[in-house]
């Protein structure tokens, strides 16, 4: 199996080792790679120190895991016992009396190190590093922050006792109480629901559109399946663009609808499906698989198995891991900048509503669309399991011909 070892000076070493290899042998390999003597190495896995006599499998190290290598402070001094509390004490400015002893004491407490990595990663990195001056600077900064917070709290309490009915004092006390509740809520989330702070990657799947491989963004919150003009041109579909279906897509901002491509083949897994697209002038979004096609092809977003099931389960394709998604799709800052400059909506919040479509020439008028006869045709096709929006579009496409519209909807 392969493991990655990162040193405190940000050197990264990738090693091929056996899962039953001992930690001592791993340190010997690292001595060759990093020139750090075995006795001066301290290895951490998930914040826990790895004992020399233990095997990697016994410590839960698996393929692709990250191991931290930090200097073994105990090797440079006496190993008789832990540093005294006096040696690891603090100066009035918050810095450690003996920074090396303080560093060693904190490193030896795996639970404390795990909490530090969650609550104060900067301080945790400084404790694992070799720069004692930086560690002292961070300790002084944390002490100043605590002193400032304590001073503010004392001022607020003084205001309360001076005049409990003062409006400004009441506002500050109210803000302090609210902030305290927020901090308690944050601490509880950090302890019981740490996953909430992790980044959530949007749902992408591999599929082929008109024979060309694509990374498709799956969005059940988007009303229609959308493709950009540049992507349609690259796929050889722009020649099929029906400009009679121009309009405006409204969502977070808005974007111009250039038209519609009525049908093109998409391949999901090993099966081909017919698909229709709205073509948008949105350079920051290539291909979005929306609710209309999700419904039509009876798709199931299975987050437990992390797959998209198509055709009621006849095909299952996995959602892509973050490493398999192109970097431009994950660059949120650039994406937001593009969206604000172009006026197009972000895919993650797309709510596409078409306004003022010109419609095909000779199509039924808006008044006729609202007529009883048209509504009866819509109701009949909706009973077959199609969405109302799809049915209306199909009837307009075939000038109200119910049979042709039904044939189109059935693919």
Decide if 129 contacts 116 (C-beta within 8 A).
no
CA atoms within 13 A on the CB side of 182: 6
219 is catalytic: yes
Q: How far, in Å, CA of 224 to CA of 212, rounded?
A: 21
Number of H helices, E strands in the chain: 14, 16
Q: Which of 219, 242, 292, 302 is catalytic?
A: 219
* DSSP codes of every residue in 368-392: HHTSHHHHHHHHHHHTTT--HHHHH
Distance between CA atoms of residues 130 and 116, nearest Å: 17
In DSSP terms, which residues pair with 306 in a beta bridge? none
Q: Where does 215-371 have alpha helices with state H?
A: 229-234, 291-296, 327-330, 332-342, 366-369
Contact by Cβ (8 Å): 395, 402: yes
Determine the Cα–Cα distance for residues 110 and 199; give it in Å rounded to an integer. Answer: 26
Catalytic residue numbers, as ranges: 219
């Amino acid at each position: 199996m392969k493991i990655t070892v990162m040193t405190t000076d940000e050197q990264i070493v990738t090693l091929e080792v056996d899962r039953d290899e001992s930690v001592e042998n791993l340190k010997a390999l690292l001595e060759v790679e990093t020139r750090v003597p075995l006795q001066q190495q301290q290895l951490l896995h998930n914040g826990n120190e790895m004992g020399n006599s233990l095997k990697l499998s016994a410590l839960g190290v698996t393929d692709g895991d990250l191991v931290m290598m930090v200097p073994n402070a105990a090797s440079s001094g006496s190993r008789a016992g832990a540093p005294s509390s006096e040696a690891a004490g603090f100066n009035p400015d918050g810095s450690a009396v003996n920074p090396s002893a303080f560093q060693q004491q904190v490193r030896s407490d795996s639970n404390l190190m795990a909490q530090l990595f969650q609550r104060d990663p900067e301080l945790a990195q400084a404790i694992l590093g070799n720069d004692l001056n930086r560690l002292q600077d961070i300790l002084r900064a944390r002490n100043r922050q605590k002193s400032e917070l304590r001073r503010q709290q004392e001022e607020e309490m003084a205001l309360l006792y001076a005049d409990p009915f003062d409006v400004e004092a009441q506002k500050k006390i109210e803000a302090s109480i609210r902030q305290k509740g927020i901090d308690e809520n944050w601490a509880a989330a950090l302890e019981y629901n740490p996953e909430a702070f992790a980044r959530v990657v949007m749902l992408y799947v591999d599929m082929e559109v008109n024979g060309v491989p694509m990374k498709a963004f799956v969005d059940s919150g988007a009303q229609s399946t959308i493709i950009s003009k540049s992507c349609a041109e690259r796929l050889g579909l722009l020649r099929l663009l029906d400009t009679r279906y121009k309009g405006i897509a409204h969502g977070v901002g808005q974007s111009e609808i250039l038209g519609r491509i009525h049908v093109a083949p998409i391949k999901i897994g090993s099966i081909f499906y017919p698909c229709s697209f709205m073509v948008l002038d949105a350079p920051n979004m290539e291909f979005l698989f929306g609710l209309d096609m999700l419904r039509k092809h009876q798709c199931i977003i299975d987050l437990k198995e992390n797959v998209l099931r198509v055709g009621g389960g006849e095909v299952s394709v996995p959602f892509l891991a973050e490493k398999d998604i192109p970097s431009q799709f994950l660059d949120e800052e650039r994406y937001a900048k593009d969206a604000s400059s172009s006026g197009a909506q972000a895919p993650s919040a797309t709510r596409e509503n078409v306004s003022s479509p010109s419609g095909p020439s000779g199509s039924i008028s808006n008044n006729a669309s609202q007529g009883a006869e048209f509504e009866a045709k819509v109701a009949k096709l909706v009973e077959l399991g199609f969405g109302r929006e799809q049915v209306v579009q199909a009837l307009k496409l075939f000038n109200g011909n119910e049979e042709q519209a039904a044939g189109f909807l059935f693919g």
